[in-house]
Amino acid sequence: MLPTLDDFLASGARWNGEHHGVHYELSWHGRSEYQESGIWCWYIIVTDEQFYPEEWTLLRLKKQDRELNGSWHRFWSYEDFPDVDPHGGWTFGEQETYLGKDGKKHEKVKVGCDYAHSWDRDGGYWHGRADIERDVKASIEKLLKLFPRRRVRCAYSGKWDDADKFFTTNAGWQVHVDSEAKAAEMHHNWRRAERVQA
C-alpha cells in the first residue's frame, strides 16, 4: 500500500539549491501536535573556501559547550552572524569541519530561520515553498553585498580560487585555468567562450 497524503504531510522534506554561488536549503517539518500546519524553514550554507580569511572571521560561529541535565552539549552562537533579514531572526546555527577536495580541513557554517512565529500563525501560515525560496535568495543577495570579495568555484574540478584565475565556457560555466585542457577534452561545450568582435 502506498503512503497517503497525510503520511507525507506528517513527515519532512528538504530541497537544496544555489544562488550566486551560495548554497541554501529549504525544509518542511511536517504536521504534529506541536504545529498542526507544519513548519517551513530555510538555511544559508557558507564555507571558508568561498571567503577570504579576514571575511571568514566575521562569519564563523562561536562554540558554546554547556551542561544541561547532567550531560554536556555543544551549541553554536548564531547571534553575531550578519543580519541579512532572516524571517523573524536567526533561530538555528551550526558549524562543522569537513575535508575539502584539496585534502585540507575546512569549515562550513549553516544558519537558518523558521516560519513558526506568532504572526505567521495569526496570518494563517500562508507561506509556501516559493515564498521561502524567494526570501532565502533575497537574504543571500544581502549577504553578498556585505561580502563582495569572494573566491570562485570551478564547475569542473570544484577548486576554489581567485576570480581572475577563471574563464567562462561556451556553456556559461566558470572553469579554473588549471582545468582548461581536461574540461575541454571531456566536454566539447566547456571550451572558452568566443569573444564577439566589435
Query: Cα torsion at 101, 107, 108, 109 (round to 10°)?
Result: -170
Measure Cα distances from 14 to 29, 114, 161 in Å: 9, 14, 30
Cα torsion 170, 175, 178, 181 to 10°: value is -30
Place of cell 521561502: 132
pLDDT tens for the chain, 198 residues: list them. 777 777 767 778 899 999 998 999 999 887 766 667 778 999 999 999 999 999 999 999 998 888 888 888 888 899 899 999 999 999 999 999 999 888 999 999 999 999 988 777 777 778 889 999 999 999 999 999 999 999 999 888 888 999 899 988 887 888 898 888 887 777 766 778 765 444
Query: Domains of the chain: which residue ranges?
Result: 5-150, 153-186
pLDDT computed for residue 126 by the predictor: 81
Q: What is the DSSP letter of 6?
A: H
pTM of the predicted structure, to 2 decimals: 0.84
Could you give the CA distance from residue 59 to residue 150 in angstroms, rounded to a whole number?
13
Contacts for 119-123 with beta carbons within 8 Å, 24 or more apart?
Answer: 119/88, 120/88, 121/37
**Cell numbers found for residue 76:** 553554536
Q: Could you tell me the strand order of the sheet in which 12-19 lies?
A: 12-19, 22-29, 39-47, 105-114, 92-99
Residue with cell 577563471: 166
> Residue 182 carries which side chain, given as an amino acid letter?
K
Give the pLDDT score at 172.
Answer: 82
Q: What is the β-pairing status of strands 62-68 and 12-19?
A: unpaired
96: cell is 562543522
Residue owning grid cell 509556501: 128
Say how many residues make up the chain.
Answer: 198
Grid cell, residue 43, equals: 538555511
Helix (H, G, I), strand (E, B) or coil at 115: coil
